[in-house]
Amino acid sequence: INKLLETKKGFVAGAFYKEGLGDIDLVWGNKDYGLEHILKRRIESYVKKGLKPKFAEQRALNLARMIPEAIEKGKVGRDTQGRLKIETKDILVALRDNWQDEPLKSKWVIAGFEKKVGNLREQAKFIDPSLITKDGEHLASSLNSVEPNPTTNALKTQEPLSPLELANAEKLAKLETEKETKAEAVKKLSSDEIKKLIDESPRTGSSMPILGMQNLNAEAVEYIQKNHKRIAVEKIEPSFAKDLKLKYPDDARAVIDYQAINHILKEHKNLAYEDIANYRELSKQANETLKLKDNQNRPVVASFNQINGFFVVVEQVSNAKNELMLKTMYKARGNYKDNFI
């Protein structure tokens, strides 16, 4: 599903698999059907409830990203109209295996999904059911073709949220996304697994895999340098990425490449691979951090650490690729405040 959200086109045959059902397809579609249509309706629904467009879009994307887990962990059943569904305590995914009494090419296709929430004022997460189709076929469904019944869908007719409720809803949206970023824990990898991940990583973009701080060791840094590689170490906190004015703060990455490693080792002989491997930890646990500009007028994050009579400085630069990239680091005797602050 992340691939469709990134490319915004095509479909994925066998995007999901559910034991007892088999393969389940997912399609991007357009404004009239498919995942694009669903996201559009979700955003409109949130905006009508009072959320600002950017938070409405964020919530819609968060919901879409819940589908894989719902299919994996949910229970198969049928709704009151006999439609097949996969359901968890949080989300319901509806499925179809035919269109106008004709069997689909694939066994199953997602026909709708909704967030199961009882009170918009508590969580501002209400999602209407909608439609997903396959191969350009408009699979009309009562999930979105029938007008809502006001007696059974009271949430649709709630009065607008108060300013305080809106503020709380927007805060919840922001916190939820930051929580998801933290939750994307990367497991500890073996040496061979680290090298494989580095080798297979695209050089830029949201499809770059996350190596993880625990996997950026001295050996990995040396491998990146000697093989002219670049890798995303971890995702940046969205609030911090927003401060840096990165274009997509919810998906910004901290990146290291061989050129920065070459520069550091050449210009600062008292630093080694092991020191460079700790650069993200040093930047996050710094005694002081400043936001500066480099000679190309790019935003630079300079992190200052005072360690056993030495100061260590890590500089990272934000770029147009939605990255915070290691620029340099250096170590010298003395107090950083006497030299920079």
- Under 8 Å between Cβ of 268 and 207: no
Closest C-alpha among 320, 183, 180 to residue 248: 320
* pLDDT reading at 185 higher than 50: yes
- Compute the distance between CA of residue 13 and CA of residue 191 in angstroms, rounded to an integer: 34
Position 4 scores a pLDDT of 81
Q: What confidence score (pLDDT) does residue 157 get?
A: 35
Residue ranges covered by each domain of the chain: 2-182, 186-339
- Assess contact for 319 and 298: CB atoms under 8 A: yes
Q: Which amino acid is at 249?
A: P
pLDDT in tens, 272-287: 999 999 999 999 989 9
82-132 pLDDT, tens digit per residue, is 678 888 887 888 777 754 455 655 567 665 666 654 443 333 333 333 333
Residue 280, Cβ density class (10 Å: 0-12 exposed, 13-18 middle, ≥19 buried): buried
Q: Look at residue 68 and give its three-state secondary structure.
A: helix
Alpha-carbon torsion 200, 205, 207, 210, what sign? positive
What gap in Å lies between CA 340 and CA 311, rounded to an integer? 11
* pLDDT for residue 122: 38
Please list, residue by residue across 82-119, b when 16 or more beta carbons sit within 10 angstroms of its beta carbon and e when fewer do: ebbbbbbeebbbbbbeebeeeebebebbbbbbbbeeee
Distance CA 96, CA 320 (A): 42
The position carrying tokens 């949201």 is: 206
pLDDT at 120: 37
